[in-house]
Chain A
Amino acid sequence: MIRQELKKLVIYGFFLAILLIPMLGFRSTTFEPGRAFKTLGVFMAILILNLALKIFRNRRGKEAVVKKSWTERTGEYINRLPKTFTIGGLLLVAILFPIFGDNYVIDVGITCLIYVCLGLGLNIVVGLCGLLDLGYIAFYAVGAYTYSLLNLTFGLSFWSALPIGIVLGMMVGCVIGYPTLKMRGDYLAIVTLGFGEIVRLVLNNWDSLTAGPNGLFGMKRPAVYYPSFSEDGFAWAVYYLKSLPALYYFILVITIFTIVGVRRLDNSRIGRAWIAIREDEVAAELSGVPTTWIKLLAYALGAAFASVAGAFFAAKLSYTNPNFFLFMESCIVLCIVVLGGVGSIPGIIVAAFVLIGAPEIFRGLENYRMLAFGGIMTTMMVLKPEGLIPASRRKRELHENQEALPED
């Protein structure tokens, strides 16, 4: 067996060398193979490590195979703690966080929370309803541009523009959802990708409305009333959320609303209908699920959450331009959903912080971020399609035909 594996290793090494040396060795006109060999070394080290692990596991027998990964064990351990305790603890950390962090850390925190909202919204479409949406960032753009335009042209405040943005986002969601109702899988993926690009190109080309690639700027920040006790007595004063901690608390509230909303939806009749459609559309329809409406609802609600996040994003930066809404952004959000575990709310929250926060910590490796995202996506799908913290239903489904299932 070891001989066979070694033979495989040599073949892999040979092909990797063929693939890596021309692509990495030649830069402009010179041939410097050093980089190629270094990369080859890294890949081979991973393969050898993998082989060693395999042999090690084989020696130890079958027990090692059924062992759960540490993330799952941690997840289960946390699940065993009283709910109020974990949620309260997390909330306390989230609330105290700006006091201990400097502005840069708070800014990263805000970005992470925006992506948590986006991930949870996409989770409705991809995770619960099983429709692969590659143009999700378009709804984010709709939210951002709706607020920007309403604020700049009509002077509408954040709060009055927000419902309009949500409704518009839902409408765009239905416009994208309706023609794709009959499609499944890859066709749907390509069509949503196309829609996402159409939205971006329209924003980019419609100069008279959206100022094209220059973007819009000068939007007002969201404002809140606060009680003021001045000489004239009690009054409500207006406070614009300008400082980073204020914006942080604002997005924290939005995130909590999103988490509660998605959780309630997941456990509702609609959520069960979504999962039924994901499992088997024909069977769901025969059982009386109105698939057309339920699917449209998935698009609309997913879009609504993205739209809220987008409006906040535009208000926070006070600037927006079409290049914030590239296809790559959709991929990042999708990667968060996939890594966290399709359909799993805690998983997505953790994944958003890992994928968005970690590159900020390792600043020097920023160029490798998207490379890692791609690698993670493929590896996760091949090795652990249920994600870091799997949703229980999803996990059972993915491992249906494996006998050694240590499920209770």
Chain B
Amino acid sequence: MEWSAFFLQQIINAIFLGSIYSLIALGYTMVYGIIELINFAHGELFTAGAFIGVIVLTALQQAGFVETHFILTMIIVFVLSMAYVAVLGVAVEHVAYRPLRTSSRLSALLSALGMSIFLSNGMMLSQGVSDRPYPQVFGLEGIEFMGARISNGQIFIILLSFALMIGLQLFVHRTRLGKAMRATAQNKTMARILGIDIDQTIRITFMIGPALGAAAGVMVGLQYGAVRFDMGFIFMIKAFAAAILGGIGSIPGAVLGGMIIGTIEVMWAAFLPSAWKDVTTFTVLILVLYLKPAGLLGESDAEARV
């Protein structure tokens, strides 16, 4: 393979990985924007989405549905897994966050961390410790482009994730609920005085954010061919690094951060010893928090929040 083609291939991989990180990072950013707490259980919600995806997809494949109605299958898989995780997200909020809304940050953080450990081990017990194989529904065919290859699955995933991101941006900026969300994020007391149902808004945030994570989970499963109960951990840290890098609380920031982290990881793995690629991500995270805690596109008052 030519050098330029190799480079182009890496860029395609980076966009692919970046869009997955962006989707997970969006969940962090939305939840952080509204309650100013990291959703520690987000990685596990992402994994739960991947598991529901594999369960539904396997069932549909056994029914022979995948060959006949491919598009419909994809819609069912994504909708069901996102819906399930939305319910799970609300449950997590109800159990671990709502009772602690007025208590100290340390308590809320620990309770969220406990929830994350609980969910991760619950999935281990119910779905097993080993890799769970994903049915390969996308063939090997793809498009050749200047010597680089992009598979149909990758195209589908990149397009879907961009559609979800644009949909989210429109939802937050064009609908009443989105307006209520932005108002709650800005000032809870004032929003309540103006008649916004704060509990309802937070609940909806905890539905949308994790649902996006679930979509990312299904995408990871489709692309890499397997899911594991503890895969959420590493994705969680990377997506979190992306959210911080882009500026937490900002939706375009999360997408930008996700793309940058994806690019760094892919390029590092391509040109430098790949065993150290995770160390690089952690280092980037720490450097960003140290040097520019508000992130690239963050609001200026984020610095006070750190």
Contacts and interface: CB of A to CB of B under 8 A. Distances in A.
B111 A377 contact: yes
A374 B116 contact: yes
Contacts of A198: 279, 282-283
Contacts of A77: none
Interface string B118-137: 11111111111000100000
A234 interface: no
* Of listed A35, A134, A197, A374, residue having the most chain B CB within 10 A: A374
A298 B11 CA distance: 44
Given A190-B285, A202-B279, A377 B114 contact: yes
B113 A371 contact: no
Contacts of A374: 114-121
Contacts of A189: 38, 109, 113
Scoring B114, B233, B282 by chain A CB atoms within 10 A of each residue's CB, the highest score goes to B114
Interface residues of B, number: 61
Contacts of A342: 106
A23 B126 contact: yes
A271 interface: no
Nearest to B291: A179
Interface stretch (A48-56, A104-112, A116-124, A180-188): A180-188
Interface string B27-43: 00000000001100000
A229 interface: no
B50 to A, nearest CB: 12
Interface in A23-50: 23-24, 26-29, 35
Given A29-B58, A183-B289, A184-B306, A377 B126 contact: no
Contacts of B204: none
Nearest to B287: A179
A186 B37 contact: yes
Which of A126, A184, A202, A382: most chain B Cβ within 10 A?
A: A382
B91 interface: yes
Q: Please classify the interface of chain B as helix (H, G, I), strand (E, B), loop, or mixed, using the class held by over half of its residues.
A: helix
Contact of A382 (B55, B91, B96, B276): B96
B55 A183 contact: no
Interface string B87-126: 1100100011001100111111111111111111111111
Given A22-B55, A27-B128, A371-B122, A187 B306 contact: yes
Interface string B47-62: 0100110010011001
B117 A370 contact: yes
Nearest to B285: A194
B110 to A, nearest CB: 5
Contacts of A126: 106
B3 interface: no
A132 B109 contact: yes
Nearest to A368: B125
A382 B99 contact: yes
Contacts of B275: 201, 204-205
A378 B121 contact: no
Given A201-B278, A371-B118, A375-B118, A185 B125 contact: no
A375 B241 CA distance: 27
Interface string A365-380: 0011011011111111
A334 interface: yes
Given A27-B127, A190-B38, A381 B48 contact: no
A19 B87 contact: yes
A185 B106 contact: yes
Contacts of B38: 186, 189-190
A377 B113 contact: yes
B78 interface: no
Given A179-B286, A182-B306, A190-B237, A19 B114 contact: no
A29 B62 contact: yes
A140 interface: no
A194 B238 CA distance: 10
A21 to B, nearest CB: 10
A385 interface: yes
A191 B128 CA distance: 30
Contacts of B271: none
A25 B114 CA distance: 24
A331 interface: yes
Contacts of A22: 52, 55, 84
B240 interface: yes
B290 interface: yes
A182 B294 CA distance: 13
B113 A331 contact: yes
A327 interface: yes
Interface string B232-259: 0100010011001000000000000000
Contacts of A202: 279
Nearest to A39: B126
B18 interface: no
A398 B106 CA distance: 12
A372 to B, nearest CB: 9
Contact of B106 (A35, A130, A179): A130
A324 B112 CA distance: 24
Contacts of B100: 381-382
B213 interface: no
A180 B124 CA distance: 33
Given A201-B276, A381-B108, A23 B117 contact: no
Given A194-B282, A338-B110, A381-B114, A187 B122 contact: no
Given A23-B122, A23-B127, A193-B237, 12 more contacts: A22-B52, A26-B55, A27-B128, A134-B113, A187-B306, A189-B109, A190-B244, A194-B237, A197-B237, A201-B278, A378-B95, A381-B100
21 contacts: A18-B87, A19-B88, A23-B51, A26-B55, A134-B113, A180-B290, A186-B105, A187-B293, A197-B278, A198-B279, A201-B276, A201-B278, A201-B279, A201-B282, A327-B233, A368-B121, A370-B117, A374-B115, A374-B121, A375-B114, A380-B114
Interface of B: 37-38, 48, 51-52, 55, 58-59, 62, 84, 87-88, 91, 95-96, 99-100, 103-128, 132, 233, 237, 240-241, 244, 275-276, 278-279, 282-283, 285-286, 289-290, 293, 306
